[in-house]
Amino acid sequence: MSNIGNELGQVLNSVLTTGEGAGLDDLCQGVVRRYRDAGEPEPDAIYVDRDCCSESGESPVLTWFRPWTFTVRLDVFHFMRRFTNGLTTEHHPLYGTFCSKLSSCIFKWDKADIEKLQQAKRAELVKKHPGHNPTHSQVLASITTSELAKHCRRKTRGVEETRALIQQLLDSMWDLTDTTGLSLINQESMSRVWEVQQKHLPCIQDPTGVQLYINTGSKLEKGDKALDVLRCARGSSSLESFHKHQCCFIPGKLKHLTFKILC
């Protein structure tokens, strides 16, 4: 199954083949033609779930979408998923902690956006409980993941900072176990995963000069403040759900995703 989506979360093309990789060239050239016929500008960046770079130089994605020139990037969700191969099980109680820490090794929040959201949430709490002055940690605890995603921008930290942070994270978790003594990390597998994935650290960095956040124009009232609602072009959750949904309809053992591109 090959799916192509755009920055608006729309699915542009979806093709099911019996063999992996068959017809990819036609599929991509078809999308190039549709953009040209519609007078749409060429994309600045394409996010993929594999083939982001190649030992021999150029990513094959650039050939499939010729004559376009763009930055090829690896989708961060897929980069992170690869680390699960170095874990003993995804059902480990420390799994969630590991994933959220891994994500903060890659991204940092925009300070000004966070500050604005905190002020709004503080005002909201004061309105709800008049006469009570909420502490900083009460304000932080009241912020949901969806509020962060709607009102705050994130950007990648850069190759060297992320490399050092992931190394620190692994060093702090190599030996951690649950109460039954089961380790979270399989040291041998994780060492292999980390060695290979370090090559892709440049591939997950935000492409320079590409506007990844769009202000949707709508605002949400919080406390006495109106916060901008942002949409991020990075990430592939809508395409991912679409893909998963389709796979449920198709009988057979090979249900995994083979290839996916975000324009």
- The residues that touch Zn ion, with contacts defined as CB under 5 A, are 52-53, 200, 203
Q: Kindly state the smallest distance separating residue 81's Cβ from Zn ion, in Å.
A: 14
CB of 56 to Zn ion, least distance (A): 13
Rounded to a whole number of angstroms, the minimum distance from the CB of residue 52 to Zn ion is 4
- Per residue in 61-93, is it b (16+ CB within 10 Å) or e — as a string? bbebbeebebbbbbbbebbbeebeebbbeeebe
Of 102 and 203, the one with the shorter C-beta distance to Zn ion is 203
Rank residues 112 and 196 by Cβ distance to Zn ion and give the closer one. 196
Helix (H, G, I), strand (E, B) or coil at 244: helix
In DSSP terms, 87 is beta-bridged to: 185
CB-wise, 79 or 98, nearer to Zn ion?
79
Assess contact for 132 and 162: CB atoms under 8 A: no
DSSP conformation class of 201? T
Tell me how far, at minimum, the Cβ of 193 lies from Zn ion, in Å. Answer: 14
Q: How far is the CB of 83 from Zn ion (least distance, A)?
A: 15
Measured from the CB atom, is 53 or 152 closer to Zn ion? 53
Whichever of 35 and 259 has its CB closer to Zn ion, that residue is: 259
CB nearer to Zn ion: pick between 43 and 60: 60
Looking at the Cβ atoms of 201 and 227, the one nearer to Zn ion is 201
Q: Residue 219 pairs with which residues in a beta bridge?
A: 228
Smallest separation (angstroms) from Zn ion to the CB of 54:
8
Q: Give residues with Cβ within 8 angstroms of 243, minimum separation 6.
A: 1, 3, 257, 260
Would you say 82 or 116 has its CB closer to Zn ion? Answer: 82
> What's the CA gap between 118 and 110, in Å, rounded?
12
Q: List, as one string, the DSSP characters of 38-78.
A: TTPPPPSEEEESS-S-BTTBS-HHHHHTTT---EEEE-HHH
Measured from the CB of residue 59, what is the shortest distance to Zn ion in angstroms? 8
Please report how close the Cβ of residue 105 comes to Zn ion at its closest, in angstroms. Answer: 17
SS3 content of the chain, % helix, strand, coil (to 5): 45, 20, 35
Question: Residue 173 has which token pair?
Answer: 């978790």
- Measure the CA–CA gap between 86 and 75, rounded to whole angstroms: 19
143-150 long-range CB contacts below 8 Å, 24 or more apart? 143/117, 143/118, 147/117, 147/121, 148/109, 148/117, 149/232, 150/220, 150/227, 150/229, 150/230
